[in-house]
Structures are given as structure tokens and as C-alpha cells.
Structure 1
Amino acid sequence: MNQKVRNFSRNWHRDIAYVFVGLIISFSISGIALNHRPTFNSRQYTYQTDPLQLNLTQNQDEITEDYVKSLIPEIGVANEFRTFRIQNGKLRIFLEDALAEVDLKTGEGETQFFGRRLGLAEMADLHQTTNPYWVWYSDIFGIAMIFIALSGMFISGGKTSFKRRGWYLALAGIAFPLVFLFLLA
């Protein structure tokens, strides 16, 4: 590769990386957090847990949305009702920034109150938003990442060039996700 192509690649690689450095860091952090969502909620954390005792009907067919809404004053919260679910013998009442979970047989349970993880919650929201303007920006970012990856192959010359050393490292970098995609998924 001649020096002119290397200089072009280096300059554009550097400048595009500067433009997208904030998004690269944001997507990296929120991506790590989203990878661990079964054990870690990147958007919220529990800041208070209160015990709860409710007098529930023993007939599960009577547990409707209206019935669950009638329980909210008994729970003692002013949070807005979102939805409910019966799962594994428990009634889960989802409220704005709170969750009440009650054993259907005993009526015992707890209410958990949540707060947002500042910064991390917003990064996760960006990672998953469907706003059309953001989608366009993210698409441009994706194209820029492809350019950064490809232009990085032509920055070095000599012993560390793509032709001499880089191709097998790139091949390993391509093979690793393919192994996960086809063998472990």
C-alpha cells in the first residue's frame, strides 16, 4: 500500500473516531450493561423495599385489571398502575417506578421502589431508542464504524501491515463471533 493511501486512511480514521468518540463510549458501556440484564438492570435500582400484606381473593379467575387496581390503595402507594402478571404463584403488580409482589396463598409480599441509574439509564435508552432521527444517526454511526475498521487495516506499513500480520488477526476477529453465532447460539 502506498504512503498516500496510508495517510488518507490514518487521517480519516482519526477524525471520524474523534467525531464518534462519545457514542462509541456510550454504546460500549450500555452494551456491557445490556449483556448482563438478567442479573443487572441498567435502567433502575431498588432503593427501598417495604413489607406488604394483602387480603387477596382465592379465586384466580377474579384477579382482573380492575381487581388489581382496587388493591393499590391497600398497597399504600400513589404510583401509577402499569400492568399486572400472575407468575409462579405470585401476583406481580407493576407500577410507575415500583413493583408489588404478593404470594397468592398467603397475601404476604413486598413493594420495591426504583430509582433511575443516572447516566447509565440514559445510555441504555439511547442504545434501544426507535426515534427516527436517532435511527438515522445510529445508521451513520454504524457506517462510520465499518469505515474505521476497514481504514485501520491500511494505516500501518512494513512488518505490521495488514498484508504481513494484520490479515490473520482480522481473520481471528471475524472467526470469534462466528463461533458464538453458529456453535453456541
Structure 2
Amino acid sequence: MNLTHRQIHRDVAYFYVGLILAFSFSGIILNHRQSWYPTEYAYESEEVTLKIPKGELTEEKVRELVAPFKLEYESHRLRENNLRVDFTGNSIMELDIKTGEGVLEARRTVPFLGHTIKLHKSTDTAWIWYSDIFGAAMI
């Protein structure tokens, strides 16, 4: 089989066209991530009202607070008057500390868009090498 440079160029281009599209989409989406969060979406939402205990919200207190929801606690963070609790399995709860009102959301990764964004964020050594080779090939 005798391949010409043109045929080799064409075949390499077929290989890379998928990555070109994925990088293009994810780059545009990341540029507009302040307008909407493209990685995941809420598919189930429930309004909640909890009695927030007085004093410092330690991990133990937060675990007790969310225990009735039967979700596996992962972590929490406080920002000003808001408490965000992350659960294993992509569920989150966001509460206003003053009122105790908030929302419990179950989330899913956005098909295609959420996955292509991971291309830009990956720190896997194999992916970095592949990405570098891809960049060099594009040059």
C-alpha cells in the first residue's frame, strides 16, 4: 500500500476533527460560565426550611442538621449568610443561615457539554501528553 502525503494528511485530519469540535465547544462554554453553569443541571429540586443552630456551624452540627434527608454528607462551606452542603452523588443543599430557608437539588452532568469541559480541566498525565501532541499537530 503506497500512501501519499495528501492521503496521510486527510486521515490524520479525520482523527483530529472530533477533538477540534470538542475543544471549540468547551472553550466557548467556559468563556460564558458566569452566565450559566454548563457542567451540571438540577433535575430535581425541593424547597427546605431548617432550624439553624446558634453559634459556630461545625462539621458535626451540619451533619446533624442534614441527617433527616438520608443523604451521605461530603462537605460544607460557609459564605457570608449562606451554607452550602455537598452530598455524595451530586446533590447539594444551599441554605440562608438567618432564615433557614433553602433548596435541596439533585444534579446531573450536562450530556456532551459537561464532558467536553473536562478536556480543559484534566490533569491526567496521559491526557496532558495527548493534548500536547494534538496542539503540536494543529500547529
TM-score, normalization: structure 1? 0.65
Match of 2:60 among 62, 66, 76: 66
Q: Which whole-Å CA distance do the structure 1 matches of 2:33 and 2:61 have between them?
A: 31
**1: distance between equivalents of 2:131 and 2:81?**
42
CA distance in 2, matches of 1:144, 1:12: 13
Q: What count of residue pairs does the alignment treat as equivalent?
A: 135
Residue in 2 that maps onto 1:176: none
Gaps spanning 5+ residues in structure 1: where? 1-7, 147-185
In the alignment, the residues of structure 2 paired with residue 98 and residue 30 of structure 1 have an alpha-carbon distance, to the nearest angstrom, of 24
Q: CA separation in 2, counterparts of 1:34 and 1:69?
A: 33
Partner Cα distance (2:70, 2:28) in 1: 33
CA change 1:77–1:42 in 2 (3 A) is farther
Amino acid at match of 1:89: N
Structure 2 counterpart SS, 1:84: strand
User: Shift in Å at residue 22 of structure 1?
Assistant: 0.7
Describe the superposition over 1:71-125 as per-residue Cα deviations: whole angstroms up to 9, x where unpaired.
Answer: 2223x142x3222111131111122312211111221111122111122222111
1:2-28 Cα offsets, whole Å, 9 max, x none, are xxxxxx6x7766444322101001111
2:123 partner SS: coil
**Alignment-mate amino acid for residue 30 of structure 1:** S
CA distance in 2, matches of 1:16, 1:101: 48
Identity of aligned residues (%): 39
Give ranges in structure 2 of 5+ residues lacking alignment. Answer: none
| Residue identity matched to 2:129 | W
* RMSD of aligned residue pairs (Cα, Å): 2.0
CA distance in 2, matches of 1:13, 1:32: 27
Which amino acid letter does the alignment assign opposite residue 113 of structure 1?
A: A
Identify, as 1 or 2, the structure richer in strand.
2
Pairing 1:141–2:137 present: no
1:131 maps to which of 116, 124, 137:
124
Q: What is the match of residue 100 of structure 2?
A: 107
TM value normalised by structure 2: 0.84
